[in-house]
Amino acid sequence: MDLDSSELLFRMSLTLFEKIINKEIPAEIIYEDEISIVIEDINPQAPTHLLIIPKKVIPKLSDASNEDQEILGHLMLVAGKIADQLGLDETFRLVVNNGAKAGQSVFHLHLHLISGRPFNWPPG
């Protein structure tokens, strides 16, 4: 696993998400199971902006291995379940930022589930 200097700094201590998973700091938890946790984003970019986070630390998507396949699939299924529970129907976007240059600021893999406003394509 190659970590750039900003990622290495984050890995020297627990990430924000690890502290939330460990209940060391509060968060608005929407859903939790043995594999994942879903929280509200503290800096929402849309009326609905949730973070779907695996409990296993995978710094970024490109660090996932074949053994993480079940976790990755689970995160996608959780996204669909949460979207259904919130009545989002087919009106949501999932985003994964991979690395600092792609906008990742917490080096613990997470999916952004966003909805509630129009989204442009291409994003950015």
- List the end-to-end C-alpha distance of the chain, in Å, as a whole number: 27
User: Comparing C-alpha atoms, which of 73, 77, 74, 111 is closest to residue 94?
Assistant: 111
SS3 58: coil
ω before 47 within 30° of 0 (cis)? Answer: no
Which residues pair with residue 112 across a beta bridge?
Answer: 51, 95
Per the listing, tokens 């930022």 go with: 97
User: Considering Cα of 8, then 73, then 49, then 117, what sign does the dihedral take?
Assistant: positive
Residue type, 89: D
Q: Which residues are marked as active site?
A: 110
